[in-house]
Chain A
Amino acid sequence: MSELDEKTENGSVESAGKGGTEEKKAKDNSGLGLGVIFFLVAFVVVFLSGWLLFPKLLYSEKEQPFNFNHDLHVYEMGSCEACHFLREDGSFSGIPDLYSCTQCHYEEPMGMTEDEKIFCEEYVAKGKEVPWLVYSKQPDNVFFSHAAHTEGAGMECKTCHGSIGQSKELPTYEENRLTGYSRDIWGDNIWGIDKNSRDSMKMDDCAECHEEETGSKGACFQCHK
């Protein structure tokens, strides 16, 4: 019911008496009020479902083959670089392969944990590589140089990787159903608002830091192949 309608109606019934008009007005207002309430309720329902339900729908949760205790391994090995190191040609070793792990874990488990038992029985004994789900996996055409960041710019591992070195459990791997990449790339925040530079790892995030640090977003081939 528009205001214009109301006015013309009021105009036509004005001569019939004041009481009748007020009654009519009250009736119209209650209809408008219901509309507003209905709109607000619908808005909240849709808004919340988009806010809470959509991320649940967008990401499927996947578990790693078994848990890995970074904290324990950093304690035993001394540093991140003991397992994740730069090779002599400047390339980055990434996640260690089975051979690296078997330098310590051969045949019998060293500890008491269920996870190590799974690792020894399922992978070491069978000579099978562990199919880790990689949180940092980027599209194929992305060229990322660890050497440029750690050696060239002198950055620390935790600037981008956070406190993963102190974690006792691996976080759940949330895979984006549309893109197939980890949620860590877009970031936890569905709006894309980051508290730390490491919260998301999209192209814009790379460009933002590059602009701050080097004064330029860089040419395409700086990060692409």
Chain B
Amino acid sequence: MSKQNTHGKTYKFGMAIDLDKCTGCGSCMVACMSENNVPFKKDESDKKDSITWMRVYKLTNGKSFPETEICYLPRPCMQCGGKGDQGHSPCVSVCPAVATDYGHDTGIVSQIPVRCFGCRYCMAACPYHARYFNWWDPKWPGEMEKYLNPDVSPRMRGVVEKCSFCYHRYQAARDKAYYEHREEIQEQEYQTACTQACPAGAIAFGDLHNPSHKVHQLVKPDPHHSGKPRNPKAFRLLERLGTNPKVYYISEKEWVRKAGDNYLEGEWKKMNKKHG
């Protein structure tokens, strides 16, 4: 890993999504698209072409009528840190162009579209399908270009893009801190668009190193076990791959927590006994 400047204040930004609160309304997806200048397509149902940095998936317990249950799962980029947060994220380690790297000061995985040449190794490497390819140049009808966010650079045809945890908002928060000669930014100064847009308040965002932040209190990450949640109701997607994601999910329902990974028959019960 390249050495990086970490002489200033370092953070580990993460997200906790309470799936029991999520209603699947899609506000986070809309907020994300407009905040990050994500182009929309004529046919958004064409999932091979559409781009959704934040995407809400629908899970079901697979049971018939009286017992049937549904859960909606919003999926941003997991900002994987790899083992020990050393930055060996699946996408970062395969990029031949250094178009994506791991920010050791924030724990956020960057994506620099102009550096990307579109080989899409990262898309193949990402176990969460969080990366998207621009098959076409973005087009905004009529005067809609005037609505674009000036803090986010739009992407062009032939490059990969993904969720950045609204990094431009961190940049803005840091600018303000510099102006006020503060070392640290406040929890509320840097919040992602999806967090603020969620009408159910299902998303919490903040510094996973800071015990006073809501996200830390919700998941209680264990620093000795790659940030594994100590809250028994919290889990991460495909935890056992060792990608060390910074997005946590919380649910009271066991079948939802079980859906977070692929378990062999009987494996889930055995694991739960061991931990429980």
B181 touches A139 (CB 8 A): no
Q: Which residue of B lies closest to A148 (CB)?
A: B178
Cα distance, A216 to B180, chains bound together (Å): 25
CA distance A140 to B112 in the complex (A): 12
Q: Are B178 and A219 in contact (CB under 8 A)?
A: no
- Residue of B4, B108, B172 near A91 (CB, 8 A) is B172
Contact A91:B112 (CB < 8 A) given known A219-B104, A221-B167, A225-B151 = no
**B1-44 residues at the A interface, CB under 8 angstroms:** 2-5, 7
Which chain B residues lie closer than 8 Å to A218 at the CB level? 4-5
Evaluate contact between A225 and B179: CB separation under 8 angstroms: no
How many residues on B have C-beta within 8 angstroms of the other chain's C-beta atoms?
A: 37
Complex: A157 Cα to B224 Cα, angstroms: 45
Of A9-17, A50-58, A66-74, A82-90, the one with at least 4 CB within 8 A of chain B: A82-90
Note all chain B residues with C-beta closer than 8 A to A89: 172, 175-176, 179
- The residue on B at minimum CB distance from A216 is B5
Contact A210 to B5, CB < 8 A, known contacts A148-B178, A219-B102:
yes
In the complex, which residues of chain A have a beta carbon less than 8 angstroms from the beta carbon of B112?
141, 220, 224
**Identity of the chain A residue whose Cβ is nearest the Cβ of B113 in the assembled complex:** A141
Q: How many A-B residue pairs lie within 8 Å, measured between CB atoms?
A: 87
Which of chain B's residues has its CB closest to A90's CB?
B175
Is B119 engaged at the interface, CB distance under 8 Å to the other chain? Answer: no
Using a CB-CB cutoff of 8 Å, which residues 86-117 of chain B contact chain A?
98-106, 108, 110, 112-115
> Is A152's beta carbon under 8 Å from chain B?
yes
Give the shortest distance, in Å, between A152 (CB) and chain B (any CB). Answer: 5
Q: A145-B178, A219-B101, A221-B106 are in contact. Are A214 and B152 (CB under 8 A)?
A: no
Give A33 to B126 CA distance when docked, in angstroms. Answer: 65
B4-A143 in contact (CB<8A):
no
Assess whether A63 is interfacial by the CB under 8 Å rule. Answer: no
Chain A, 191-225, CB within 8 A of any chain B CB:
210, 214-222, 224-225
Contacting residues, chain B, for A80 (C-beta < 8 A): none
Contacting residues of chain B (117-142) with chain A, CB-CB under 8 angstroms: none
B213 contacts A by Cβ under 8 Å: no
- Bin the interface of chain A by size: 20 to 34
CA distance A210 to B4 in the complex (A): 10
Given contact pairs A89-B172, A141-B153, A221 touches B177 in the complex (Cβ within 8 A) = no
Does B168 interact with chain A (Cβ within 8 Å)? yes
Q: Give the distance to chain A from B76, nearest Cβ to Cβ, in Å.
A: 16
Tell me, yes or no, whether B164 is within 8 Å of chain A by CB: yes
Q: Given A90-B175, A143-B171: A214 and B101 within 8 A (CB)? A: no
> A218-B5, A221-B103 in contact; A90/B114 too (CB < 8 A)?
no
Q: How far apart are A137's CB and chain B's nearest CB, in angstroms?
A: 14
Asked if B257 lies at the interface with its beta carbon under 8 angstroms from chain A, I say no
A152 and B178 contacting across the interface, CB-CB below 8 Å: yes
Q: How many Å lie between the Cα of A151 and that of B4 in the bound state? A: 21
Contact between chains at B108 and A215 (CB < 8 Å):
no
Q: Smallest distance from the beta carbon of B4 to chain A beta carbons, Å?
A: 5
Chain A residues near B115: list those with CB within 8 A. Answer: 220
Complex alpha-carbon distance, A210 and B3, angstroms: 12
Within the complex, the shortest CB–CB distance from B9 to chain A, in Å, comes to 11
CB <8 Å contact, A90 and B4: no
A143 to B103, CA, bound (A): 15
Say if the beta carbon of B214 comes within 8 Å of chain A: no
Are B110's CB and A220's CB within 8 A? yes
Q: A147: CB under 8 A from chain B?
A: yes
A-contacting residues, B200-214, CB 8 Å: none
Q: Note all chain A residues with C-beta closer than 8 A to B100.
A: 220
Given contacts A140-B154, A218-B5, A220-B112, 16 further A-B contacts (CB under 8 A): A88-B179, A90-B172, A90-B180, A91-B175, A145-B175, A145-B178, A147-B178, A151-B178, A219-B5, A219-B105, A220-B103, A221-B110, A222-B5, A222-B103, A225-B151, A225-B168
List, sorted by A's number, 11 A–B pairs whose CB atoms are closer than 8 Å: A90-B174, A90-B176, A90-B177, A141-B153, A147-B175, A219-B102, A220-B98, A220-B110, A221-B110, A225-B152, A225-B171
Q: What residues of chain B have their CB less than 8 Å away from a CB belonging to chain A? A: 2-5, 7, 98-106, 108, 110, 112-115, 151-154, 164, 167-168, 171-172, 174-181
Give A contacts to B, CB under 8 Å. 86, 88-91, 139-141, 143, 145, 147-148, 151-152, 210, 214-222, 224-225
